[in-house]
Amino acid sequence: MTIKIGKYPNALLRFIEGIPVSNRGDRTIKISLDPRSWFKKDVKKPPGFVGVYRNEHGVALSYGKLEEGELCVELCEYASMPPVNQKDFVKSWVMKHNLKNADCHYVLNHDEYELQLLETPHVEENEMLEAVRWRLKDLVSMPVEDAVIDAFPLPEDAYRGRIKMLYAVASSKETIADVLGFIDKSGLSPCVIDIPEMAIRNMALYLPEMDFGTVAMLQMQENQGEMLMYSHDAMYLTRQIEMGYASLAHEPGAFTLDNSVMLERLGLDLQRSLDYYESQLGKGIASKIYVLPIEDESIYLEEELHFHITTPIAVFDYKEFLPVKDDIQLSRRDQAHCLPVIGSVLRRVA
């Protein structure tokens, strides 16, 4: 899912930009009420994109641009800090790297949106989002009238073509307004607001298995997990796992290798996702499960999951698969925070 600035319905654009607007195709024309701005020159932008991801623990930043026709990540880092310090840190980072006014690809964290799988409403394209909004009214925790809604369809071959489905994303208007304010005050230009599921998809496109089959990606956070399944260039399935890596340790930093009950439960959850993908979506067998880096560096799930699931397990190594500069060196902990912003600047369609 991508919330793309400049492609919203007019009402939503008015909310986001805070000023009246009109549309001509994909181009958004801002109407300023301040005459001093009528004859301003276009702001000069550096090439490429800045990725931003933040949560209550810190902020991750990346910078990528085209080199000889190929996207490449040139900068990436994670800084642990409370939210109150994050805006000043990002602003300083942007100035340090001469990236003021660069287009920003911002990735929401999981607390800032809700994702739902729905049957596609039988309406015209220009009525789709309103129909999706109506269907979400009893499914999301926020009032739908106070939500920004976007949706992206599953490919035609999902569910064996029997039924058309889509993923709907809901984020509060307050959250989106806060994001846009953060981007602006950091010295960046809002371009794309994304979600981690699609940022991870951008990285999955670089895996060899994506060309001929299905790739599963396992993301484990402290108290929850997620199984993501992609084929060719699309996301087909995301399933929540009701446990996180904290369930595998008696205390922070201490992985319990003999915790066979929790590992078996995790293996069963993964197998259910694989079975559902094969039987219900009709997409066949997943080629491999890639385990994304976990913040707790003492936990190596890939070593233990081999005993609980037959599908091949591998570690997702950003250095092996992704186009990143050699001088980017990230610990496993930092990778857990940085992969969303790496994926955000590797979008092949802006």
Q: What is the pLDDT of residues 131-154, one digit of tens each?
A: 999 999 999 999 999 999 999 999
Residue 26: per-residue pLDDT? 37
CATH topology of domain 207-321: Nucleotidyltransferase; domain 5 (3.30.420)
| Average pLDDT value for the chain | 84
Q: What is the pLDDT of residues 8-57, one digit of tens each?
A: 333 333 334 332 333 333 333 333 344 444 444 567 889 999 999 999 99
Give domain 2-107+176-196's CATH architecture: 2-Layer Sandwich (3.30)
Q: What is the pLDDT of residues 96-126, one digit of tens each?
A: 999 999 999 999 999 999 999 999 999 999 9
Q: What is the pLDDT of residues 161-202, one digit of tens each?
A: 889 999 999 999 999 999 999 999 999 999 999 999 999 999
DSSP letters spanning 217-274: EEEE-SS-EEEEEEETTEEEEEEEES--GGGGEEETTEE-TT-HHHHHHHHHHHHHHH
Closest by CA position to 345, among listed 70, 33, 141, 136: 70
Which residues lie below 8 Å from residue 133, measured CB to CB, with a gap of 6+?
144, 147, 149
Residue 280's pLDDT band (cuts 50, 70, 90): confident
User: The whole model's pTM is what?
Assistant: 0.84
Residue 34: per-residue pLDDT? 47
Q: What is the pLDDT of residues 328-346, one digit of tens each?
A: 999 999 999 999 999 999 9
CATH number for the region 110-175 comes to 3.30.420.380
Q: Which helix (H) or strand (E) holds 39?
A: none
Domain parsing of the chain, residue ranges: 2-107+176-196, 110-175, 207-321
The amino acid sitting at 217 is M
**Same CATH fold, 110-175 and 2-107+176-196?**
yes
